[in-house]
Protein backbone atom coordinates (compact mmCIF):
# COMPACT_ATOMS: atom_id res chain seq x y z
CA UNK A 1 0.00 0.00 0.00
CA UNK A 2 2.80 2.40 0.93
CA UNK A 3 4.63 1.59 -2.29
CA UNK A 4 1.47 2.25 -4.32
CA UNK A 5 0.90 5.57 -2.57
CA UNK A 6 4.52 6.54 -3.24
CA UNK A 7 4.15 5.77 -6.95
CA UNK A 8 0.93 7.80 -7.11
CA UNK A 9 2.63 10.71 -5.34
CA UNK A 10 5.57 10.68 -7.76
CA UNK A 11 3.31 10.57 -10.80
CA UNK A 12 1.15 13.35 -9.43
CA UNK A 13 4.24 15.45 -8.80
CA UNK A 14 5.29 15.04 -12.43
CA UNK A 15 1.99 16.49 -13.67
CA UNK A 16 3.43 20.01 -14.29
CA UNK A 17 6.21 18.48 -16.39
CA UNK A 18 3.74 16.52 -18.51
CA UNK A 19 1.64 19.65 -18.96
CA UNK A 20 4.65 21.75 -19.96
CA UNK A 21 5.76 19.00 -22.36
CA UNK A 22 2.33 18.89 -23.99
CA UNK A 23 2.36 22.67 -24.40
CA UNK A 24 5.84 22.60 -25.96
CA UNK A 25 4.74 19.92 -28.42
CA UNK A 26 1.67 21.97 -29.34
CA UNK A 27 3.75 25.12 -29.89
CA UNK A 28 6.33 23.25 -31.99
CA UNK A 29 3.66 21.56 -34.08
CA UNK A 30 1.89 24.89 -34.58
CA UNK A 31 5.12 26.49 -35.77
CA UNK A 32 5.70 23.68 -38.27
CA UNK A 33 2.15 24.07 -39.59
CA UNK A 34 2.64 27.84 -39.97
CA UNK A 35 5.78 27.28 -42.04
CA UNK A 36 3.97 24.79 -44.27
CA UNK A 37 0.87 26.85 -45.00
CA UNK A 38 2.76 30.15 -45.10
CA UNK A 39 4.45 29.12 -48.34
CA UNK A 40 1.32 27.73 -49.97
CA UNK A 41 -1.44 30.29 -49.45
CA UNK A 42 -1.78 33.99 -50.09
CA UNK A 43 -1.81 36.65 -47.40
CA UNK A 44 -5.52 37.28 -47.96
CA UNK A 45 -6.37 33.59 -47.57
CA UNK A 46 -4.27 33.25 -44.43
CA UNK A 47 -5.66 36.49 -42.99
CA UNK A 48 -9.23 35.26 -43.37
CA UNK A 49 -8.28 31.86 -41.98
CA UNK A 50 -6.60 33.20 -38.86
CA UNK A 51 -9.42 35.67 -38.25
CA UNK A 52 -11.89 32.80 -38.15
CA UNK A 53 -9.50 30.72 -36.08
CA UNK A 54 -9.33 33.53 -33.51
CA UNK A 55 -13.12 33.54 -33.28
CA UNK A 56 -13.11 29.79 -32.82
CA UNK A 57 -10.53 30.21 -30.06
CA UNK A 58 -12.92 32.49 -28.23
CA UNK A 59 -15.67 29.90 -28.69
CA UNK A 60 -13.43 27.21 -27.18
CA UNK A 61 -12.58 29.48 -24.25
CA UNK A 62 -16.27 30.08 -23.60
CA UNK A 63 -16.98 26.35 -23.93
CA UNK A 64 -14.43 25.20 -21.38
CA UNK A 65 -14.56 28.29 -19.13
CA UNK A 66 -12.33 26.77 -16.46
CA UNK A 67 -14.60 23.75 -16.01
CA UNK A 68 -11.72 21.27 -16.18
CA UNK A 69 -10.72 21.48 -12.47
CA UNK A 70 -14.39 21.17 -11.48
CA UNK A 71 -14.82 18.06 -13.63
CA UNK A 72 -11.67 16.54 -12.14
CA UNK A 73 -12.93 17.14 -8.59
CA UNK A 74 -16.35 15.70 -9.40
CA UNK A 75 -14.74 12.60 -10.88
CA UNK A 76 -12.52 12.10 -7.85
CA UNK A 77 -15.62 12.32 -5.67
CA UNK A 78 -17.46 9.74 -7.85
CA UNK A 79 -20.01 12.38 -8.88
CA UNK A 80 -20.02 11.28 -12.53
CA UNK A 81 -23.67 12.24 -13.02
CA UNK A 82 -22.87 15.83 -12.09
CA UNK A 83 -19.80 15.70 -14.34
CA UNK A 84 -21.92 14.58 -17.27
CA UNK A 85 -24.27 17.48 -16.59
CA UNK A 86 -21.32 19.89 -16.82
CA UNK A 87 -20.27 18.25 -20.10
CA UNK A 88 -23.81 18.72 -21.42
CA UNK A 89 -23.66 22.40 -20.51
CA UNK A 90 -20.31 22.69 -22.30
CA UNK A 91 -21.81 21.19 -25.46
CA UNK A 92 -24.70 23.65 -25.29
CA UNK A 93 -22.30 26.57 -24.88
CA UNK A 94 -20.21 25.25 -27.79
CA UNK A 95 -23.27 25.18 -30.05
CA UNK A 96 -24.30 28.70 -29.05
CA UNK A 97 -20.75 30.02 -29.51
CA UNK A 98 -20.52 28.34 -32.91
CA UNK A 99 -23.74 30.08 -33.88
CA UNK A 100 -22.20 33.43 -32.98
CA UNK A 101 -19.15 32.59 -35.11
CA UNK A 102 -21.35 31.81 -38.10
CA UNK A 103 -23.28 35.05 -37.67
CA UNK A 104 -20.08 37.08 -37.32
CA UNK A 105 -18.67 36.16 -40.72
CA UNK A 106 -19.91 36.70 -44.25
CA UNK A 107 -17.99 33.77 -45.72
CA UNK A 108 -19.91 30.85 -47.23
CA UNK A 109 -20.63 28.23 -44.60
CA UNK A 110 -19.32 25.47 -46.89
CA UNK A 111 -15.88 27.07 -46.78
CA UNK A 112 -15.21 27.14 -43.03
CA UNK A 113 -17.59 24.56 -41.53
CA UNK A 114 -14.75 22.24 -40.38
CA UNK A 115 -13.64 24.89 -37.87
CA UNK A 116 -16.97 24.58 -36.08
CA UNK A 117 -16.02 21.05 -35.06
CA UNK A 118 -13.33 22.43 -32.75
CA UNK A 119 -15.62 23.81 -29.98
CA UNK A 120 -17.69 20.60 -30.06
CA UNK A 121 -14.54 18.50 -29.69
CA UNK A 122 -13.36 20.74 -26.83
CA UNK A 123 -16.70 20.31 -25.06
CA UNK A 124 -16.71 16.52 -25.40
CA UNK A 125 -13.03 15.87 -24.74
CA UNK A 126 -12.58 13.68 -21.62
CA UNK A 127 -9.03 14.89 -20.92
CA UNK A 128 -10.25 15.86 -17.44
CA UNK A 129 -11.07 12.19 -16.84
CA UNK A 130 -7.50 11.25 -17.79
CA UNK A 131 -6.13 13.74 -15.26
CA UNK A 132 -8.53 12.56 -12.56
CA UNK A 133 -7.29 8.98 -13.07
CA UNK A 134 -3.65 10.07 -12.74
CA UNK A 135 -2.75 9.34 -16.38
CA UNK A 136 -0.70 12.48 -16.87
CA UNK A 137 1.79 11.01 -19.35
CA UNK A 138 -1.01 10.30 -21.80
CA UNK A 139 -1.70 14.01 -22.12
CA UNK A 140 1.68 14.35 -23.83
CA UNK A 141 0.97 11.32 -26.01
CA UNK A 142 -2.28 12.92 -27.14
CA UNK A 143 -0.45 16.17 -27.90
CA UNK A 144 2.24 14.43 -29.97
CA UNK A 145 -0.16 12.33 -32.03
CA UNK A 146 -2.60 15.22 -32.47
CA UNK A 147 0.11 17.52 -33.78
CA UNK A 148 1.37 14.74 -36.03
CA UNK A 149 -2.09 14.44 -37.57
CA UNK A 150 -2.27 18.22 -37.98
CA UNK A 151 1.12 18.37 -39.70
CA UNK A 152 0.08 15.54 -42.04
CA UNK A 153 -3.10 17.40 -43.03
CA UNK A 154 -1.07 20.62 -43.44
CA UNK A 155 1.36 18.86 -45.81
CA UNK A 156 -1.52 17.53 -47.91
CA UNK A 157 -3.22 20.93 -47.95
CA UNK A 158 0.04 22.65 -48.95
CA UNK A 159 0.65 20.24 -51.81
CA UNK A 160 -2.88 20.50 -53.18
CA UNK A 161 -3.51 24.17 -52.26
CA UNK A 162 -6.94 23.05 -51.10
CA UNK A 163 -9.10 25.56 -49.25
CA UNK A 164 -10.96 22.76 -47.48
CA UNK A 165 -7.65 21.24 -46.48
CA UNK A 166 -6.52 24.54 -44.97
CA UNK A 167 -9.68 24.81 -42.87
CA UNK A 168 -9.42 21.18 -41.80
CA UNK A 169 -5.94 21.37 -40.23
CA UNK A 170 -7.00 22.59 -36.79
CA UNK A 171 -10.15 20.40 -36.66
CA UNK A 172 -8.01 17.37 -37.51
CA UNK A 173 -5.90 18.05 -34.42
CA UNK A 174 -8.99 18.53 -32.25
CA UNK A 175 -10.81 15.43 -33.51
CA UNK A 176 -7.79 13.14 -33.27
CA UNK A 177 -7.11 14.43 -29.76
CA UNK A 178 -10.75 13.81 -28.84
CA UNK A 179 -10.63 10.22 -30.10
CA UNK A 180 -7.35 9.51 -28.30
CA UNK A 181 -8.61 11.09 -25.08
CA UNK A 182 -11.76 8.97 -25.27
CA UNK A 183 -9.67 5.85 -25.86
CA UNK A 184 -7.39 6.54 -22.90
CA UNK A 185 -10.20 7.66 -20.60
CA UNK A 186 -12.60 4.78 -21.10
CA UNK A 187 -10.31 1.80 -21.21
CA UNK A 188 -11.51 -1.13 -19.20
CA UNK A 189 -8.45 -1.20 -16.92
CA UNK A 190 -8.45 1.99 -14.90
CA UNK A 191 -5.95 2.78 -12.14
CA UNK A 192 -6.97 3.92 -8.74
CA UNK A 193 -8.16 7.47 -8.40
CA UNK A 194 -6.28 10.04 -6.38
CA UNK A 195 -8.40 10.82 -3.37
CA UNK A 196 -9.60 14.40 -2.99
CA UNK A 197 -7.68 16.54 -0.55
CA UNK A 198 -8.01 20.00 0.88
CA UNK A 199 -5.05 22.10 -0.31
CA UNK A 200 -3.55 24.73 1.91
CA UNK A 201 -3.92 28.41 1.07
CA UNK A 202 -0.33 28.58 -0.18
CA UNK A 203 -0.65 25.54 -2.44
CA UNK A 204 -4.01 26.77 -3.73
CA UNK A 205 -2.48 30.08 -4.84
CA UNK A 206 0.39 28.14 -6.40
CA UNK A 207 -1.98 25.93 -8.37
CA UNK A 208 -3.92 28.93 -9.63
CA UNK A 209 -0.72 30.71 -10.66
CA UNK A 210 0.65 27.66 -12.46
CA UNK A 211 -2.66 27.13 -14.28
CA UNK A 212 -2.62 30.73 -15.52
CA UNK A 213 1.01 30.42 -16.59
CA UNK A 214 0.41 27.14 -18.43
CA UNK A 215 -2.69 28.53 -20.13
pLDDT at 208: 47
pLDDT in tens, 67-83: 888 898 888 888 889 99
More confidently predicted of 35 and 1: 35
Q: Specify the pLDDT at position 30.
A: 83
* pLDDT above 70 (res 182): yes
Q: How confident is the model at residue 133 (pLDDT cuts 50, 70, 90)?
A: confident
Which pLDDT belongs to residue 80? 86
In the predicted structure, residue 10 carries a pLDDT above the cut 60: no
Spell out the domain ranges in the chain.
Answer: 21-184
| CA atoms of 33 and 148, how far apart (whole Å) | 10
Q: What is the pTM of this model?
A: 0.77
Q: Is the pLDDT of residue 199 over 80?
A: no
User: What's the confidence (pLDDT) of residue 143?
Assistant: 85
Amino acid sequence: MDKWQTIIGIRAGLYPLWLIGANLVARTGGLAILVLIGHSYSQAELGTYFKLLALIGLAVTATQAGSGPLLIRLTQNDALRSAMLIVGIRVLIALIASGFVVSATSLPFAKFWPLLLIPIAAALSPDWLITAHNRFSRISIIAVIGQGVGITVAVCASLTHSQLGLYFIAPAISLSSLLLAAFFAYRSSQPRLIGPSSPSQTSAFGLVGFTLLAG
